[in-house]
Chain A
Amino acid sequence: MLYVVIIYLWAAILLYLLLGGADFGAGIIELFTSPKNRKRTRKVMYKAIGPVWEANHMWLIITIVILFVGFPEIYSTMSVYLHIPLVIMLMGIIARGTAFTFRHYDAVVDDMQVLYNRIFVYSSFVTPLFLGIIAGTAVSGKIDPHASTFLPAYIYSWLHWFSISVGLFTVAICGFLAAIYLIGEAENEPDRLRFIRKAKQMNVAAVLSGGLVFITAYLEKIPLIEWIFGNAAGLSAIIAATLSLVLLWYLLARGKTRVLRLLAGFQVTMILFATTVRHFPNIVMLKNNAYLSLLEHSGHEKAINMLGMALLLGSIFILPALFYLIYSFQKKDPEKLRPSAKG
């Protein structure tokens, strides 16, 4: 059952990155869109993420619950040493979630909308940035459980170039996912072309910031290259992701939306796979080569078993419903499909 729980943990992180990421990305795209196009972009985005954004958000809660029930030591260590970036990320989540809903449901449309928008776009940038910083810190080996003063214990653990570049990489990936997703949601040609251009820009940004991750890893003596390229599984995942990039650019020129989405999802999955497979079962690297392992630092057996059961049971309810939700709102002009419906 422990492996079932670990698979769910990985899947929840992946789905949060993919679905929540596309969601964050919508705000990032808005941030990097010229003011004259913003209104149009926003309109497409609303329609696209409105019905699903609350659900996307749930993957984070699932991740947290799996951590504190199944791996309490990992959860509490991260809570203590990453307190500050976690709080900043939480602020981002609060600001973003509420601003999105407020601008959507405010009965009056006036200057308040400008405020909601501003909060939404900036927090859409800050949240994945800190999510990336937290992920980068987890594997950086810079958390020092023996540090006794404030700065080394609570600041230097996460504030370094490597984690920041992972943060920027995460932001770029979110933007990229959103742009790819929105290509298929655009209702007219100019919108579509704009999202294709955005997807290209975000893809370049992701490649560049990905390179930055390697450079900072080298400078901070984090053996990232060895991690990723030192084993067959990681290496093949990265090669597959790189090759699919060529296909992606080819298809971008042709605008095949469904294949594009699958490809973008595939690339992000491969990146997460490559970066996690080498570490498994370790998840958090501490200073002096100590680590927290999913196998050795898991919670009590009975708790893990019950958690596994709860997750399996939950999936039976959630996955079909979620799939139907996403599917239902993909259809074009559904009103026309059911002319007789009253409501």
Chain B
Amino acid sequence: MNDFIAARSQMALSLGFHIIFSCIGMVMPFFMAVSHYYWLKTNNVVYKNITKAWSKGVAIFFATGAVSGTVLSFELGLLWPTFMLHAGPIFGMPFSLEGTAFFIEAIALGFFLYGWNKFNPWFHWVTGVVVGISGLVSGILVVAANGWMNSPSGFDYVDGKYINIDPVKAMFNDAWFSQALHMSIAAFVATGFAVAGVHAFMILKGKNVLFHAKAFKIAAVFGCIAAVLQPLSGDISAKDVAERQPAKLAAMEAHFHTGKSVPLIVGGIPDVKEKKVDYAIKIPGLLSFMVAGDLNAEVKGLDSIPPEDHPPVAITHYAFQIMVGIGMLLLFVAVLYFIALWKKKIWLERRWLLILFAAVTPLGFIAVEAGWTVTEVGRQPWIIQGIMRTADAVTPMPGIVYSFYIFTGVYISLAIIVVFMLYRQIKMVDKIYDIPSNSDQLKG
């Protein structure tokens, strides 16, 4: 492994790790706020217990997300100093606003976690809602910054110089909206299904059924609504990418030859040398239709892009297939669940529905990681699309390989500890929350 690949791997690892934690930290406060609302409205202590149990999860994920986010803000410079030298002032605007949003989130979380019985109950509830909203806002802002890398704007690039900088224009770049929409919904899908899945599993095991059933329902409804909305945002994203980054779209679809009435390629193994895809299902004209709303429209293939500007086709294609496949599967589960809620109440008592939810627990996050891979790998070899190559941005310091090993070790241990801690949280539901307790103090 050379230093360049090591730097990219370290960045991918750090982002891949951060993204899971920040998604959960961003979405779970909303679940928490809903159950908290039910508790304040109904006085049913189960809801209070769910709120408290979830708030511990939020605290764990927030802390892990915060530190890994801090690391990322340094890593941008540690690994890509040349990129940051030029890009910092241009795309820094969303980061400076994100600082504010994140700060508010941290403050609100302080109020929420330690504020039981200290404040007016509705003020306390609002602080929880603020945690969710500010988290969501900071997520959108960070994605807007990433959108700029895909769709650089707000400056003129003349003779290697970045002039006429306009940070506001850079923030509202062409990609920000579709990317932020797709990512935010993805966070709700992934977290909703993950949380619902864990509670479904506990119901199946017959433990604290009342507690887990109520928790399951809140998470499942969030996840399922998001899963139904996601294909719509995916469609917006695909059209956007086709227009802005034809190379990325071509890599996603393993679409080698420019042509009219292009089929949608599902699955398959791309053969880059022979410029074809083996064993794929091809749906005639569908890609043309999805991109341009016309079955006969022309779609640019990789052959219209200089070979040195091709993204890695196989990785992008597989990642895209995984993301879409999981999205469709979760959409199916969501539709089943809504049918159950509205028409077939009897299904809600069937084990197969719970088994289904338990089985798809990790899938949303796999889709998030895959989607992120599509965005980032699909942009290669550019760090700023069309302006700066990733290879030109990397730090001159040698030995990044060792740094990569160290970070890998740290992130793997952290992931193991977090999973271990969640396991212990769930295991302790029996002891902490089963008996409606009169003690209102949040025990540390």
Contacts and interface: CB of A to CB of B under 8 A. Distances in A.
A69 B92 contact: yes
B104 interface: yes
Tell me whether chain A's interface is mostly helix, strand or loop, or mixed: helix
B350 interface: no
A93 B410 CA distance: 12
Interface in B47-104: 56, 59-60, 62-64, 66-71, 73-74, 76-78, 81-82, 84-86, 88-90, 92-93, 95-97, 99-100, 102-104
Contacts of B67: 93-94, 97-98
A75 to B, nearest CB: 5
B42 interface: no
B399 to A, nearest CB: 8
Interface in B90-145: 90, 92-93, 95-97, 99-100, 102-104, 106-111, 113-121, 124
Contacts of B77: 68, 75-76, 78-79
A102 interface: yes
A60 interface: yes
A343 B414 contact: no
Contacts of B81: 76-77, 79-80
Contacts of B104: 317-318, 321
Interface in B424-441: 424-425, 427-428, 432, 440
Interface stretch (A222-230, A234-242, A288-296, A298-306): A298-306
A322 B105 CA distance: 11
B167 interface: yes
A247 interface: no
A69 B96 contact: yes
A65 B70 CA distance: 10
A105 B444 contact: yes
Contacts of B70: 57, 60-61, 90, 93, 97
Most buried by B among A50, A60, A106: A106
Contacts of A83: 78, 395, 397, 403
A104 B55 CA distance: 13
Contacts, number: 224
A90 B71 contact: yes
B96 A310 contact: yes
A105 B88 CA distance: 36
B406 A98 contact: no
A295 to B, nearest CB: 15
Contacts of A317: 100, 104
Contacts of B396: 80
A334 B92 CA distance: 41
A303 B169 CA distance: 11
Interface string B256-288: 000000000000000000000000000000000
Most buried by B among A52, A87, A101, A318: A101
Nearest to A116: B417
Contacts of A3: none
A72 B85 contact: yes
B206 interface: no
B92 A61 contact: no
A80 B96 contact: no
Nearest to B69: A61
Contacts of A342: 117, 121, 440
Contacts of A154: 397
Interface in B367-408: 395-399, 403, 406
A93 B72 CA distance: 12
Interface string B14-43: 000000000000000000000000000000
A58 interface: yes
Interface in A78-96: 78-80, 83, 86-87, 90-91, 93-94
A159 to B, nearest CB: 15
B120 to A, nearest CB: 7
Contact of B63 (A54, A75, A321, A329): A54
B428 A55 contact: no
A157 B406 CA distance: 22
B336 interface: no
Contacts of A335: 117-118
Nearest to B108: A321
A324 B19 CA distance: 31
A83 B428 CA distance: 42
B229 interface: no
A69 B88 contact: yes
Interface in A94-138: 94, 97-98, 100-102, 104-108
B240 interface: no
B421 A86 contact: no
B166 interface: yes
B341 interface: no
B165 interface: yes
Contacts of B107: 55, 318, 321-322, 325
B297 to A, nearest CB: 39
Nearest to B124: A343
Interface string B326-346: 000000000000000000000
B126 to A, nearest CB: 12
Nearest to A299: B89
B89 A303 contact: yes
Contact of A303 (B78, B92, B410): B92
Nearest to A150: B398
A65 B96 contact: yes
B122 to A, nearest CB: 10
B406 A91 contact: yes
A61 B93 CA distance: 14
Contacts of A105: 56, 59-60, 421, 425, 444
A335 B421 CA distance: 30
B66 to A, nearest CB: 6
B168 interface: yes
Contact of B84 (A57, A75, A97): A75
Interface string A315-340: 00110011001001100001100100
A79 B84 contact: yes
B403 A318 contact: no
A70 interface: yes
- Nearest 9 Cβ contacts at the A-B interface: A69-B92, A79-B77, A314-B100, A303-B89, A101-B63, A299-B89, A107-B428, A76-B81, A72-B88
14 contacts: A61-B70, A61-B102, A73-B85, A79-B77, A83-B397, A101-B63, A107-B424, A107-B427, A108-B424, A302-B167, A322-B103, A328-B118, A343-B118, A343-B121
Given A54-B63, A311-B96, 14 more contacts: A51-B110, A58-B99, A60-B70, A61-B73, A69-B92, A80-B396, A91-B406, A93-B70, A101-B63, A105-B60, A105-B421, A150-B399, A313-B100, A328-B119
